Each structure stands twice: as C-alpha cells, then as structure tokens.
Amino acid sequence: MRCSTLILRQMEDKIIPQLTNCSCIKELKKIHAHILVSFLSQSNFLATRIINLCNFYRSIDYAFHVFKQVVDPNIFLYNAMIKAYTQNNHFLEAINLYKQMLRCSHSGDRFTYPFIIKCCGGEHIQLGNQIHIRVIKSGLDSNHVVQNSLIEIYTKVDDLKNAQKVFHSMTVRDAVSWNMLISGHARLGKLKEAMAIFVAMPNKTVVSWTVMISGYSMAGRYSDAVGVFRRMQIHDFEPDEVSIVSVIPACIQLGALELGKWIHAYADKHNLLIKPIICNALIELHCRCGSIDQALQLFDQMPRRDVISCSTMIWGLAMHGRSREAVQLFETMELEGRVRPNAVTFLGLFAACAHGGLLHEGLGYFRSMKEIYDIEPTVEHYGCIIDLLCRSGCINDAMEFIDDMPIPADAAIWGSLLSACRIHDNIEMAVKAMEQLLRLEPDDLGNYVLLSNIYASGKRWDDVSRIRRLMRNRRLKKDPGCSSIELNGAVHEFMAGDDSLLQSADMDDMLELLAMATTKIGTFSTLEDDEEIGSFDPHHFGDF
C-alpha cells in the first residue's frame, strides 16, 4: 500500500510541472487527457489543480466535468469546486455542492465557509444563519477570514445587527472588517453611524475614505462628500480610481468645476486617464459644469472609447445647444462601427434633435432605433419625441403620438405637452394635459402654476381664481430654492429664505447695489454714466 502511494506521488509529480506551465484551456484539456490515459483520474490532488486552472480560465462546466469523474472527492476538491462556482456567480450550484459535501460526511473548514457564506444572500439567507451556527459549533467563529465573510453577508442583506455582533466578537479586526461595517451603514443611509465607525477605525485605508465619500454622495450630501475627499488628501491618502469616480458626482451636483479640474490634472499626472471609467466621469463633469470644449478635448484624446463615452459626449453637446455636432458624432459612431449605440445613446441623440429643432432627423432616428438596432423604446424615449414635437410646435401631432403609444404616458410627457400649450396658447389641450398630471402628480405645485399662467394669458380670470383656490385647499407649498458656489476651493450652499449665514446682511447690501446698478443700466441703456458702478469694490464686504 505504501509502495503504491509512493508510485502515485511520483506520477503526480511528473504532471505537476505541465499544469504549472499550462497557458490555455486547450492545453489543459490535453494534459487532462494524458492524466486519464495514465489512470490518474481519481487523484484528488491533480483534479484540484485542474479545477483551479479551469476557474482561472472561466471554464466552469469543464471544471465540474473533472469533479464528477472523481468517485471519492476529498475536502480540498470540494473546496476548489465550491470556490470556482462562487467566484463565477454560480451560487445555487455552490450551495447544492456544499449540501452534497455534508451528506458525504465532510464538514466544512476555514477554506469552505468564506466562499459558501458569500452564496447565502437574498433567498438563501436562512441557510446563511444555519452556516453561522455550524461555524460556531466547529470552533471557526474565531477565524477572522470566516468572520469577515459573515459580516459581508449580513451587511449585504441589511442585517446590521448581526453584522455588528460578529464584528464586536472579533479579537482581530483588519481593514476589511472595518470597511465592510462602514459600507453596510453608509449604503443604508445611516451616515452618522458610519462616520462614528470610521472615526473609531485605527488604521484607515483609501477604501475607508472612499466608502464615506460614496455614502455621502449617494445620500445627496454632496458638500460632505467633497469635504471627506479633501480631508483624505490632508491625511496624505492619495485618491485612487474608485475614490475619484465616487467624488465626481458630488462635484457635478455642486458645480465644483475647480475641484473637477484639479481631479482631471491629478488623473493625468498619475496616468489614470487611460481608464475609460475615469474619462467618462470627467467628461460628464465638464459637460455638466459648462466646460464643453474641455470635455471634447478629453473625449478626442481617449485611447479607447466605449458606448458610455460616446453617449455622454452626445448628451453634453445637446445640452450646450451644439445639436449638429451631437448628430455628427452619432453618425461617425455609426460609420466607424466600433461602438454600438444603446438606449442611453438615443436619449442624448433625441435631446440634441429637440434642442436643435431637427424634427425630421429625430423622427428618422426614432424609427432606426427599433428597425436597425432592435432597441425597444421606453417611456423616456417616447418622452423625448413628444418634447421634440412640442418644441417644433406640432401640438396635435404630439397628442396623436401619445394616443398611439404602446405604453402609458408618464408625468414628464404630459408636462412637456402642458409647457408647449402655454407657449402656443392652446388652452384646450392644456386642460387635457393637466387632467392627466393631476392624476399622476396631484401634489406638484409647478403644474398648477403653469396651468394658472396659461389661463391668465388667455384672460380666463375665473379659471385662474379656481386653480389658485385649489392650490390653497390642497395646501401646496413650493420647496425653497437652493444654489451653490465654489469659492477659494470651498463649496458654499445657499437656501432661499435662510438668514442664518453670518454674511447675510452683507449679501443683502450687495444684492441691493446690483439691483440699483441693473436698473440704472436698463434705464439709460448706456455705460457712459456708470462711473460710480465701475468704481465699486467687490472686496469691500470681505470673503463669503
């Protein structure tokens, strides 16, 4: 017996170098064929190595084919197959294999549980709880890798209570433990708790900072997101690809173009502009912040463009009134054929046609979206065409288009029609649109105001009074306006009616002076008598 074991090991040792030097799945299959003819198909050791390589080459079906050939798989072979299934998102297959392993009297070990736990989210969370109990009974609940896996699965299913229990039971907590707990709280919008954990974290990483930036940004707390990004640099943490992509949406919402330019320069310096995800985010930032030429320059310099790059650039050109350039970019995209347009691309294209008054072109592209690219229009696409028709003054055609739509029109579509009715004084059609808007958005003040203005333009004062009574009866109030400005590297936010700022009096004085100056210019329509305005010192009131 000992002799046969020794011979088996010698034969295995001869094949190991071949597996180590294997460079593709085709070569691996040849080596496997050699193993079969050498009567080594029952070698758990070789089968485990083959399955690990199959996992590397993403050939999971072949891996399971190899696994099935072994009559008596050991725990290492089970672990290799479970790992392959898990890393390729075949979670149900991994769970079934784990159950089979238990039936064959193999208990899981510290290599089994981290992978099988990852499979237990969603509908399999009950199995995750059972595995947690097994982990405790097997004494592996003190293994920090297993514990991190438990924290990960509990945070994924929003069970922060159990995640915290595991976290507090750990004797050794690494950065992964802290980051997952911070991420779980941040993802659920519990930013106060997330920040408390972040502050308590002894050895922060770039990932820790990024999680907080992303959490604030997703919660709409853009100033806080930018603030954390700045503090990250103060603490000598260099932003990576993920942190840059996380903070850019906050820059876009705040209009923080100067910070965006700094990020652009930083990405260029650290050779990050070769990554499409960075370029795409920066292109959107420049487009949204009014720097369309900078966006075009970056787009032209990209070594590799994807559909997101092209779609973002088309949309940016459309929003800046450069409709012909947007259409030309789409046509170039079609001609080159390297990037296939998607549903988002057509939204930008339709917006360009609407802003440029390109009615026939827009309708033609709408037909080609379905006929050539087999993209089914959504309510957003129909909304763009309605907007195109309305902007072109084709109110009746827009109404017919709505009637022929295979899906119900949403509030945005009826809102476009209502706005067009105001421009073209079509009160009858406006009333029809308003009836639908009242059904879809009964508490939207803007719709009532718009209809009231339409009635006023038609001198239907009784109807104006009726709409205003309806607004009062429903106690509709307008949300206060909010704006922001970037000054000396800091973003300042202002809310209408908020007098809590220390410089409110100074700002009121400045606004009064500006109003006076505007009135004077408007009255005399000349700059010759404005010497007093020209001598005004904007620094008199200090920095905001």
Alpha-carbon span 467 to 12, nearest angstrom: 87
pLDDT for position 481: 57
pLDDT for position 425: 79
Q: Classify domain 377-482 at the CATH class level.
A: mainly alpha
SS3 content of the chain, % helix, strand, coil (to 5): 70, 0, 25
pLDDT for position 467: 77
Give yes or no for residue 535 having a pLDDT over 60: no
Q: What angle do CA 200, 202, 208 make, to 5 degrees?
A: 80
Give yes or no for residue 526 having a pLDDT over 50: no
Pair 300, 334: CB distance under 8 Å: no
Helix (H, G, I), strand (E, B) or coil at 113: helix
Residue type, 117: I
Domain ranges in the chain are: 183-294, 377-482, 499-541
Sign of CA dihedral 248, 254, 257, 263: negative
Alpha-carbon span 246 to 37, nearest angstrom: 54
Displacement of CA 208 from its chain's centroid (Å): 19
- Cα end-to-end distance, the chain, whole Å: 87
* Best CA proximity match to 467, nearest among 445, 485, 486: 445
**Mean per-residue pLDDT, 321-348:** 94
Give the single-character DSSP code of 340: -
Pair 64, 78: CB distance under 8 Å: no
Alpha-carbon span 43 to 30, nearest angstrom: 17
What are the tens digits of pLDDT across the range 65-89? 999 999 999 999 999 999 999 999 8
Kindly state the percentage of the chain with pLDDT values over 90: 50
Give yes or no for residue 454 having a pLDDT over 90: no
**Mean per-residue pLDDT, 122-127:** 71
**CA-CA distances (angstroms) from residue 268 to 111, 213, 279, 311, 498?**
41, 21, 10, 22, 40
Give yes or no for residue 92 having a pLDDT over 50: yes
Q: 320 CB contacts (<8 Å, ≥6 apart)?
A: 287, 290, 292
Asked which of 22-31, 36-45, 489-498 is least confident by mean pLDDT, the reply is 489-498
Alpha-carbon span 365 to 337, nearest angstrom: 16
* Best CA proximity match to 104, nearest among 77, 127, 122, 84: 77
Alpha-carbon span 379 to 375, nearest angstrom: 13
What are the tens digits of pLDDT across the range 195-235? 999 999 999 999 999 999 999 999 999 999 999 999 999 99
- pTM for the full model? 0.72
What are the tens digits of pLDDT across the range 255-274? 888 899 999 999 999 999 99
| Polymer length in residues for the chain | 544
Give yes or no for residue 470 having a pLDDT over 70: yes
Helix (H, G, I), strand (E, B) or coil at 330: helix
What are the tens digits of pLDDT across the range 371-428? 999 999 999 999 999 999 998 889 999 999 999 999 999 988 988 888 888 788 788 8
Longest dimension (CA), the chain: 111
Beta strands in 465-540 (DSSP E): 482-487, 490-495
* Best CA proximity match to 185, nearest among 216, 155, 222: 155
Ordered alpha helix ranges (H), 337-460: 343-356, 359-371, 379-391, 395-404, 411-423, 427-440, 445-457
Give yes or no for residue 485 having a pLDDT over 70: no
Q: Which comes out higher in pLDDT, residue 108 or 169?
A: 169
* Best CA proximity match to 116, nearest among 166, 82, 157: 82
Task: Tell me the two tokens of residue 393.
Answer: 């003054």
Q: What angle do CA 257, 279, 264 make, to 5 degrees?
A: 40
